[in-house]
Structure 1
Amino acid sequence: MLEDPIVNLTDVQELARDVVVIPNHNVDLVPNITLIGGTEAVLVVDTGLGPRNAQRVLEFAVEYAAGRRLYLTTTHFHPEHAFGAGVFAGEATYLVNRAQADDLTTKGDGYLAMFRQLGEPVARELEGATIPAPDLTYDETYELDLGGRVVELRATGRAHSKGDQVVTVPGEGILLTGDLVETDQFAIFPWFPPYDVDVSGVRWIDVLDRLAAGRPRIVVPGHGEVGDGRLLAQVHDYLVELRDETWKRRDSAEPEDTIAAEVRALMIARHPDWRLPEWIDRGVGCLCAEHGRVD
């Protein structure tokens, strides 16, 4: 049974001076939510699922900011990360990359309808949810001056979604990845043909290579416990495993359902303690479609 996807404001973790994370406590459809402060403003990263969660986060942020201006950004458009942003309207400036803004416009309604079918706890949190409209957009990178601290927002290009964005805190070695990285969990592949096929396992591997080159000291994943740069390697190596085992079988022209069953059993055997194995099959489907592609 799905646990209620409620943001829990206890056990807030301080990562560095004026940088805190509200951990997701490994509850499905609850993201890690981060606040980054400067002398003049505070940036909130991700909202939680729907208006009630976002209201909790907003109230926490207002108290944390103590009179400083508020900004909001979201790592990508999926409902537990972005569909509470409407609550921040008039209270914070909502800033995202242009590809994510396009995802919200073109896919938001479909994902809202899909998530409402995931069970009563999810539908309840999405009551009154609307598709948010950003106040500001950028193309590739944006340097946000919070006062004495400049935070970099960067579009990664298509990977987990078309509009993935990472946030870095220069000088602290902190990287916020959204769902490009999860801790001890099979990577989430939103592969829903023909409605959404923007996820790319091939490009995802390349994105993780680029992120690892920055040698982050602290990595805040979309879901799961905060870690270090080894989290990037963990997800990268899994995606390479998934690609190689899928493509090896695709080369032998096995049916896709046979490939999925074989690869799923293999991945679970290799990672017996990881959560959400249901995403393996969708990853296989994506990589079958990308078979042989190396760009």
Structure 2
Amino acid sequence: MAEYPFPDPIVEISDVRELAHDLVVVPNRDVDLVPNVGLIGGTEAVLVVETGLGPRNAQRILAFAADYAKGRRLYLTTTHFHPEHAFGAHEFSGEATYLVNQAQADDLAQKGAGYLAMFTRLGAPVARELDGTVLAVPDVVYDGSYDLDLGGRTVRLRPTGRAHSRGDQVVEVPDADVLFTGDLAETGQFAIFPWFPPHDTDVSGTRWLRVMETLAAEAPGIVVPGHGAVGDTRLLADVRDYIKELRDETWRRRDSAVSEETVVEEVRALMIERHPDWRMREWIERGVGCLCAEHAAVGGAGVE
């Protein structure tokens, strides 16, 4: 098993931040494999967004949510199926109604076991948190968007289509002008491209770019990313611009018949030069690999 060089991936119920009336975020504290967790309340119910990695993290979140709800009904949703976002959902069984879009439900059913095995090999702290994980079956699966009435507040669960994963969805709170993005957006780090050929190639840089163009144009006031500090619409623009420059620099080199190895080397150096303070540099190479494959698929369409 690999040595895990990061802090243990544990959700700490501390420094809880209120973004609006009856809407709080448990921040991830910039700890790898810990998501930002949201609780959104109405007069009748509370929606929890994300479960944390594995059963013990989910139990902490559930206990906090039950106390926060004070008798109100609980719902759970996840922005996509990846382990730190959704692999604690089983712990909510019988306590909350779990809602996801169809593509995310398919991801969980078809790829959940493989991701559980892959993440368990990341290191002992990750394996420890995933020990005892049971992959959940959602209670409600929907096509298109889903408007959830919490009592005096409606939250919209909106699938974006294939981007970071096949089943991405954003969570909109219109009355508070808040948007939860999951891993479509992160703060202060390079975009996570889960490009693992031949096992998983569902991430799409070109589709992800279109999604970010749409979300940035909608200009929500408060943006809760999958990981990192809460921001505003500029965070969406930053991710949009990064994916565009990653695509442009990759495709420009592939149009010139440069080898993929050279493309990776040159584009990685350029992205680090342009974003010297961003974390997770290891995802640049996987992003380039994804975009090289998409360039080949369109026959070398060039850069817009």
Regarding TM over 0.5, the answer is yes
Residue 39 of structure 1 pairs with residue 43 of structure 2 = yes
Residue 149 of structure 1 pairs with residue 171 of structure 2 = no
Q: CA deviation at 1:271?
A: 0.4
**Distance in 2 separating the partners of 1:270 and 1:5:** 29
Q: Which runs of 5+ in 1 are unaligned?
A: none
Q: Counterpart of 1:95 in 2: which secondary structure?
A: strand
Say whether the 8 Å CA contact 2:153–2:175 is kept in structure 1: no
Q: Which residue of 2 aligns with 1:106?
A: 110
- The superposition leaves residues 196-251 of structure 1 with CA deviations (integer Å, 9 ceiling, x where unpaired) of 10000000010011112222000000000000000000000000110001001111
Matches within 5 A, 1:269-288: 269-288=273-292
Say whether the 8 Å CA contact 2:205–2:247 is kept in structure 1: yes
Q: Which of 2, 25, 28 pairs up with 1:24?
A: 28
**Distance in 1 separating the partners of 2:232 and 2:13:** 23
Say whether the 8 Å CA contact 1:36–1:43 is kept in structure 2: yes
Say whether the 8 Å CA contact 2:44–2:72 is kept in structure 1: yes
Q: CA deviation at 1:72?
A: 0.1
Q: Which residue of 2 aligns with 1:56?
A: 60
**Distance in 2 separating the partners of 1:52 and 1:278:** 28
Say whether the 8 Å CA contact 1:159–1:203 is kept in structure 2: yes
Q: Which residue of 2 aligns with 1:84?
A: 88
Q: Which runs of 5+ in 2 are unaligned?
A: none
Q: CA deviation at 1:258?
A: 1.4
Q: Which residue of 2 aligns with 1:6?
A: 10
**Distance in 2 separating the partners of 1:142 and 1:252:** 45
**Distance in 1 separating the partners of 2:35 and 2:184:** 12
Q: Which residue of 2 aligns with 1:237?
A: 241
What amino acid is the match of 2:45? A
What amino acid is the match of 1:199? V
**Distance in 2 separating the partners of 1:93 and 1:220:** 22
- The superposition leaves residues 162-218 of structure 1 with CA deviations (integer Å, 9 ceiling, x where unpaired) of 000000001211000000000010000000011110000000010011112222000
Q: Counterpart of 1:272 in 2: which secondary structure?
A: coil
Stretch deviating more after TM superposition (208-217 or 38-47): 208-217
**Distance in 2 separating the partners of 1:228 and 1:215:** 8
**Distance in 2 separating the partners of 1:4 and 1:69:** 31
Q: Which residue of 1 aligns with 2:186?
A: 182
Q: Which of 201, 209, 212 pairs up with 2:213?
A: 209
Q: Which residue of 1 aligns with 2:197?
A: 193
Q: Which residue of 2 aligns with 1:123?
A: 127
Point out 4+ residue stretches in structure 1 off by more than 2 angstroms. 292-295
Say whether the 8 Å CA contact 1:2–1:121 is kept in structure 2: no
Q: TM-score, normalised by structure 2?
A: 0.96
Q: Which of 157, 161, 166 pairs up with 2:165?
A: 161
State the identity as a percent: 72
Q: Counterpart of 2:71 in 1: which secondary structure?
A: coil
Q: TM-score, normalised by structure 1?
A: 0.99
- The superposition leaves residues 111-152 of structure 1 with CA deviations (integer Å, 9 ceiling, x where unpaired) of 000000100000000000121110001111000000000000
Q: Which residue of 2 aligns with 1:266?
A: 270
Say whether the 8 Å CA contact 1:183–1:224 is kept in structure 2: yes
**Distance in 1 separating the partners of 2:261 and 2:75:** 45
Aligned length: 295
Q: Which of 250, 254, 261 pairs up with 2:254?
A: 250
